[in-house]
């Protein structure tokens, strides 16, 4: 009789716990869906985030470049050198070139860390930012000029649209592209 009561008790607990788990799982799912940002992600917000991303990447590049210089200097500090040439050059020139190369390599690693930091800080709207970025790059690709007719007096305006940080910049870029096309047509 006791085992029969324990069996009933176990069945009641398992039914209630699965129902409770389903309810709490639905609440968590609803909470995740309710954190969606407004579907209207304007171009001004996109350009603001694009500028922020470039600023973060530049800052991260500066920090990693300085880190590369410091690491290289730390490694060079342990080297004993005489007045003998290194690789056929003066040792001061070789060591200073090594420090500069270490800083340059560190600078190149900056955007990797900067992009990760940007993604972490803006993960709520990152999906919308990426959609706008694809739209922006498609517009740039459609509207940009053919660089085969460039010259010193008629340079190509910002081929990849890297300097566009506002709608006014975009409009100016379009005007520059039209002026380039007109000059290329008139002078060729």
Identify the band that residue 15 occupies on the pLDDT scale cut at 50, 70 and 90: low
Residue 125 lies inside a defined structural domain of this protein: yes
Residues 120 and 151 occupy one common structural domain: no
**pLDDT band at 150; cut points 50, 70, 90:** confident
For 163, the domain range is 144-188
Tell me if 56 sits within 8 A of 118, measured CB to CB.
Answer: yes
Q: Helix, strand, coil proportions of the chain in percent (round to 5)? A: 75, 0, 25
Residue 49 domain-assigned (yes or no): yes
Task: Kindly state the tokens that stand for 86.
Answer: 């290194």
Contact 125, 83 (CB under 8 A): no
Whole-prediction pTM:
0.69
Residue 86 main-chain phi, psi, to 5 deg: -105, 120
């Amino acid at each position: 009789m006791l085992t029969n009561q324990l069996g009933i008790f176990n069945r009641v607990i398992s039914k209630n716990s699965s129902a409770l788990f389903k309810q709490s799982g639905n609440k968590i799912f609803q909470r995740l869906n309710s954190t969606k940002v407004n579907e209207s992600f304007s171009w001004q917000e996109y350009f603001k985030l694009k500028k922020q991303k470039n600023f973060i990447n530049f800052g991260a590049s500066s920090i990693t470049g300085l880190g590369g210089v410091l690491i290289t200097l730390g490694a060079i500090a342990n080297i004993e050198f005489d007045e003998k040439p290194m690789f056929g050059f003066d040792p001061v020139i070789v060591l200073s070139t090594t420090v500069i190369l270490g800083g340059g390599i560190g600078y190149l690693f900056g955007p990797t860390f900067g992009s990760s930091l940007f993604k972490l800080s803006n993960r709520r709207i990152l999906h919308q930012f990426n959609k706008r970025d694809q739209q922006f790059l498609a517009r740039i690709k459609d509207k940009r000029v053919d660089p085969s007719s460039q010259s010193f007096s008629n340079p190509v305006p910002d081929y990849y649209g890297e300097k566009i940080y506002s709608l006014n910049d975009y409009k100016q870029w379009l005007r520059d592209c039209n002026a380039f096309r007109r000059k290329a047509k008139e002078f060729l």
